[in-house]
Amino acid sequence: MSSCKKTIEGELGEPFDKVSGMAGKWQLTSFSQTDLNNPIQEKRDLSRFYIKDGITPLEITFTTAGRTYETAIEYGKNYFGTSGTWGFDDEEYPSYLLLYGETDTLQFNLGSVVRSFDQTMSIELPRGCSLNTANAIPTVIYTFEFTRQD
């Protein structure tokens, strides 16, 4: 039976460089919250808490040299810290973006791997309730959507 199937030909090519994909300046275009306790897991657009006329939205700049990052924010809560270094949980198959600040490490879920030609980036921050942060049960997910600026 397998002889009736068409043979797949060609190569996938070299994998994309995930580090160079993140490099550049990213500006927040939307912010939403998904309520995990709601049976339908309702997603609410809360962009108004970050995006206001006349004010530049949150910006994050990632560099490949030294893997540093900086944020610029005038309006809204800063979940990213001001600056530091960054990395992935796995260089070949990243699932998490890690931001290493002066006093702590922040972990965000990658909505998808960003390639150097992609113009959008989505990262998620699960938040939970617990006295012990390591065992927190997620109750909401904050989703930050960014657009490449350079």
Q: Return the CATH number at 35.
A: 2.40.128
> What's the pLDDT score for residue 3?
61
Amino acid at site 24: G
Count the residues in the chain. Answer: 150
How, if at all, do strands 59-62 and 24-35 pair? antiparallel
Residue 70 lies in domain: 15-148
Instruction: Determine, yes or no, domain membership for 77.
Output: yes
**Total domain count for the chain?**
1
82, 74 contact by CB (below 8 A): no
Residue 7 lies in a domain: no
pTM of the model: 0.83
Residue 9 included in any domain: no
Which DSSP category does 54 fall into?
Answer: T
pLDDT category, 2, cuts 50, 70, 90? low
> What pLDDT was estimated at residue 133?
59
Mean pLDDT, range 18-47, rounded to an integer: 92
Residue 4, in any domain of the structure:
no
pLDDT tens, position by position, 48-85 = 999 999 999 999 999 999 999 999 999 999 999 999 99
50 in a domain, yes or no? Answer: yes
Q: Is residue 10 part of a domain?
A: no
pLDDT confidence tier of residue 130, bands split at 50, 70 and 90: low
What tokens appear for 117 in the block? 């030609």
Give domain status of residue 49, yes or no. yes
Residue 74 lies in a domain: yes
